[in-house]
Every structure is written in structure tokens, then in C-alpha cells.
Amino acid sequence: MLYNPTLFNGITIFVEVINSGSFTSAANRTGHSTSYMSKEINKLEARLGIRLIQRTTRSLALTPEGEIYFQQCQQIIGAAEEAENLITGKQLQPKGTLRVSCPTSFGVIQMQGVFAGFMDEYPDINLELDLSNRKVDLVSEGIDISIRATKQLEDSSLISRLLLTSSSVTLAAPEYLKRYGIPLHPSELERHKLISYSYSANKSQWIYYDNQQQRIPINHHNKVLTNSTEMELSLCLAGQGITRIPEFYLTDQLSSGRLIELFEEFQRPLVNMYLVYPSRKHMSSKVRCFIDYVLAKLSDSKK
């Protein structure tokens, strides 16, 4: 790595301006003048050859490049602060902002209590939760840790920890089965209305296995394709079709009889949820605490 004495010039000023929301607020917090703050940002943009901030007389906004640079710089400053606190013995409790990405339904159904308990346990950590079903880019978006269902990580720089394993169940409402009949074998799904998850690896094929481990691929036409598990479940409950979702998204729909499980004699496909995070040699204490806490809590819930 080549020595670059100007590498960090302007970074702390840039991050402070964005976190403060204006040059004036940042100047007041740092004790510098507004003109000094502006000049430092100008020099940083000139050195990078990229505009980071769009300025008007009343507001400022990050450019797309500025947003990426800001997320990375914020992580660098956070890591430097943590390193200093650790070496001087100041940080007795993890602190700072922890950015977590989590599928919407899983977050609402499985993680509400876990998030609440984590905040009670670590009051100096602020949570920034991105509840969405999209596949995030952890590094470019500045995400500390992601919860996701995946079979294989495409990015070798990421590492994962198994969070929990569930199974997928094929479901229909009694009203639907009364109108369209009960399929007794997965092959009969080809003539039924199916509701599928749009982020699945193969949206138009469900795989089943019989008791002899024979693989049964079912190619089908989707009546509804959605990126929302809540919508899959809602439409299924409304009698609009058959769906297949992980069991951990269910509450009392099966026990109450509002939904009926199909093909119980076939093996349920397994679904794994993982904690995914950048592979850093020195993991921050807030990320390590979150991983340990979530794994312990969800492990306790299985007992």
C-alpha cells in the first residue's frame, strides 16, 4: 500500500456536515467557521474529482457517489473511534449506530422482540433497520449485518452464520379447496392457481421430494407473483390460490383451520436463514454483540 498523507483529509469534516444536516450546524458543533467547512469539502471533492454534495442556499443533498462515499467514511470513522476507545479503555459498552437489513415479514413476525431486547441490553447502540425483501449490497450501502435466506453467498468477501432452519409448507384456504378441489399429488398443481414469491431462485418451479428421496420438480404458471410474503399469505387466506411459504411466517393459521397444509406425506423442503456480514479481520463490538445476542435468543426460542 502506497503512503498517501492526504488520504483522510476532509473526511471527518464531510461526515460531520452530512450528519449535522448543514454547514452552519457542522461549523457550530466543531468550532470552525462555515467558510472553513465549505472550503474543506471543496478541496475533498477536487482531490476525488467527484461532486459529493449538491448545495443550494437552503439545503444540501448527497449525490449518488456522495452517498456511497459517506457510508464508507462513516464506517471508517466509527472503526477508528472504537479502536481508540478500546486501546484507552474507554469503551465499556458497545455503542454507535448498527445498520441491519432484514426481510420485512421475518422482521415483523420473528425479530420484533429480539430487536427490543437487544436495545434494552445495549442502550448505547442505535438501530437503523432496513426492512425490505430486496437483496442489499452490504458494503456499498454501509449495512453492518443482513438477515437473509440464501443457499450460497455470491460474494466471497462475506461470511454467514446459520440463524435458524425451518421448512416450507404448501397451503390453501378451505374456501379455495371447496371451489377447485384438493390436489392429492404435487403434479396436480399445474392446473391450480398458484401464488409465488418473486425473489425465489426459480419462480415457476416448486421442488418436492417423496419418502424415497425422489425429486419431483413441478413447473407451473403463477396466478400471482409478489415480492411480499404478507401478500402471499393474505391472498391465500382469501381463497385466491395455493402458496408455499416458510413455516416461521405462520402464527395460528394452521391450528385454527384457516389454512390447510397440502401434501403432508411429502417431505417439507428446508429453508435456512443466515446472518450475513462483511468478512473483516477485526469485527466491531456492536456487530459481534448483535450476532451473539440474536443467535442466543433464537436458539432459546427453539427450546
Residues 260, 123 within the same domain: no
For position 256, which CATH number holds? Answer: 3.40.190.290
Residues 170, 146 within the same domain: no
Q: Which residues contact 177 (CB under 8 A, 6 or more apart)?
A: 260
Rounded mean pLDDT, 260-265: 94
pLDDT in tens, 5-47: 777 888 989 998 998 888 888 888 888 898 898 899 999 999 9
Q: Residue 277: exposed, middle, or buried by beta-carbon count in 10 A (0-12, 13-18, 19+)?
A: buried
Residues 147, 170 within the same domain: no
H-only helix segments in the chain: 11-20, 23-30, 34-48, 64-88, 104-106, 112-121, 138-141, 174-180, 229-237, 285-301
**Number of domains observed in the structure of the chain:** 3
Number of Cβ within a 10 Å radius of residue 207: 12
Q: Which of 30, 62, 88 is the last residue of a domain?
A: 88
Range of the domain at 74: 11-88
Interhelix angle 11-20/34-48, nearest 10 degrees: 120
Whether the predicted pLDDT of 120 surpasses 90 = yes
User: pLDDT band at 280, cuts 50/70/90?
Assistant: low
For position 100, which CATH number holds? Answer: 3.40.190.10
Whether the predicted pLDDT of 69 surpasses 70 = yes
Whether 1 maps to a domain, the answer reads: no
User: pLDDT band at 165, cuts 50/70/90?
Assistant: confident
Residues 227, 191 within the same domain: yes
DSSP 269: P
User: pLDDT band at 196, cuts 50/70/90?
Assistant: very high
Q: Which residues contact 54 (CB under 8 A, 6 or more apart)?
A: 60, 61, 62, 63
